[in-house]
Amino acid sequence: MTRTGLRRISVRSRILAVILIVTALGMTVSGVTAYLVQRDRTIAGLDAELLATVEAARGIVTGTSAPAASADEDGTTGESTEPTGAEGVPSSVLDALNGILSRIVPGRHESSVALIDGAVRLLPGVDTAFDLEDDPAFITRAWEEASGGQVTLGTAITTVGTLRYVAVPVTIPGDPEVGAFVTAIDAQRAIDEVSGAFLTYAGLALASLAAIGVIGWFVAGRLLSPLRTLAETASRITAQDLGERIPVTGRDDVSTLTETVNAMLDRIDEALTSQRQLLDDVRHELKTPITIVRGHLELLDPTAPDDVRSVRELAIDELDRMAELVNDIDALARVETQVVVEPVDVGDLTAQVFAKMQAIPGKTWVLSETATAVAPLSTSRITQAWLQLADNAAKYAPEGTTVRVGSTAYSGSVELWVADEGPGIPAGAEKRIFERFGRADTGRGIAGSGLGLPIVAAIARAHGGYVSLDSSSAGSRFGIVVPTVAAAAPPPPPPAPGFPEGEELPTASTPTPTSTASSAMPSTTEDR
């Protein structure tokens, strides 16, 4: 059913849409994956920085090292490793917290605070990006986590933003006070930097998609232009004008399709031409008997018995001739029917067909040669074609002459032939006798439908072979050349239509073709 109400979407648009959709999906998946991975790496980097701060604070409290932390140019915390002795061990919690805040300086997006018994006691000596003491809820949370005696790493949403922090409990033996060192990094700012990079990627991806769309539109149009040319040419081709062909450009799949369509048009053109020729020939062949019967019927005297009897016999004779013509036309109409072949011993087939030929009266039949070969044949069709050649020889050769029959093996092929002692084919008629209703003027006045030899050629071509011909005033030799089972390739193709005068018989090494056709047909007779 044709959907005339819906607008068609061009192949060009669909190809471009698929390319853009797949590209967009790929870019989106890649960008989101990269964003998530980078965000996780950023958070892991923040955690590593906070844990490094914990280790620095532990060294200060225990006196094993005195890392003097300061903000580097990039804002990260740097540590020195100047060793101290036991005299560097703080004596109280307040001293410990003071040492930590004085030595560990917050970075660009960091802030610190020291707590004692839940209250803010010390602040960094430098300006910080934000003040932790301004958010009592966060201070309370950090103290509750640190007072449990465990270092706590966590994330908190505060009034200054999302913070990644660590709370480190600080205690000194002999000092009843409990302290906590809390340092935090603005995680949201770090994530925003990653998000900014992702937004830049998204902008570049959209620009790339736009560029791909523009380029893809022109490239797809150029690649599909042969299809548009094909459609335009096909719309102009009609049954009355099949001569136009589609120009082939390039060496891709589209050019291959164009060549295939051109080959199809050639076959259609040939079939229609053959059909028109057949109809013209049939009309011409049937016109005469119809005219004869009609003329006699118009002049018939129904009161004269002799006249009625004569016209009746003439009409039956003409109707029989038309029936024979119709049968031959039906046979030729099935010229493209695929024959079913099987390996056949050519020697046995030669003997069988020769036995049937001997039943044709008026000639002396001689089996001159028998080939030793096996060929893929349809026995019934080859027998039909071979007997047709024998019947032609019997019709045109003088009474009592000898007709030689044989099969000859060549390299990769075998020829099934019949040679008579008749008057031969007139010069220039070698091509015409293989055309529909084609006849050669031999002066014998022998009637026929003119379809026998075309059917023989059709049967030969259906077997992958052709019909050979050699004729002179001393007689004619017709042969059916077909490939054998062991042949690596079919017999050589026939030459251009026509049979040059003085053409030689096929030799044992190179059979010479003279005409071709393609199929299997019912038995019929033929006039030269």
What is the tens place of the pLDDT at every residue in 67-117?
Answer: 444 434 344 444 433 443 344 678 888 888 888 888 888 888 888 999 988
DSSP 238: B
- The fraction of the chain above a pLDDT of 90, given in percent, is 19
The reported pLDDT for the residue numbered 212 is: 92
| Mean pLDDT rounded to a whole number for the chain | 77
Q: What length is written for the chain? A: 528
What pLDDT shows up at residue 292? Answer: 79
At residue 435 the predicted structure's pLDDT band, cuts being 50, 70 and 90, is low
pLDDT tens digits, 206-232: 999 999 999 999 888 887 887 787 778
Number of H helices, E strands in the chain: 9, 14
Answer whether 160's CB lies under 8 Å from 81's CB: no
What is the pLDDT at residue 498?
34
Sequence-distant (6+) residues with CB within 8 A of 451 are 325, 328, 329, 331, 332, 436, 437, 524, 526
- Comparing CA positions, the residue from 216, 182, 172 lying closest to residue 23 is 216
The overall longest dimension of the chain from CA atoms, in Å, is 161
The pair of three-digit structure tokens given for residue 421, joined into one six-digit string: 């002692």
Judge whether 130 and 109 are in contact, CB under 8 Å: no
Distances in Å between the Cα of 303 and the Cα atoms of 57, 299, 314 are 145, 12, 18
The pTM is what?
Answer: 0.47
User: Which helix (DSSP H) or strand (DSSP E) does residue 424 occupy?
Assistant: none
374-426 pLDDT, tens digit each = 999 988 889 888 988 988 888 888 888 899 999 999 988 999 999 998 887 77
pLDDT at residue 438, as a whole number: 53
pLDDT digits (tens, 9 = 90+) for 355-380: 998 888 888 899 999 999 999 998 88
Q: How far apart are CA 9 and CA 102, in angstroms?
A: 73
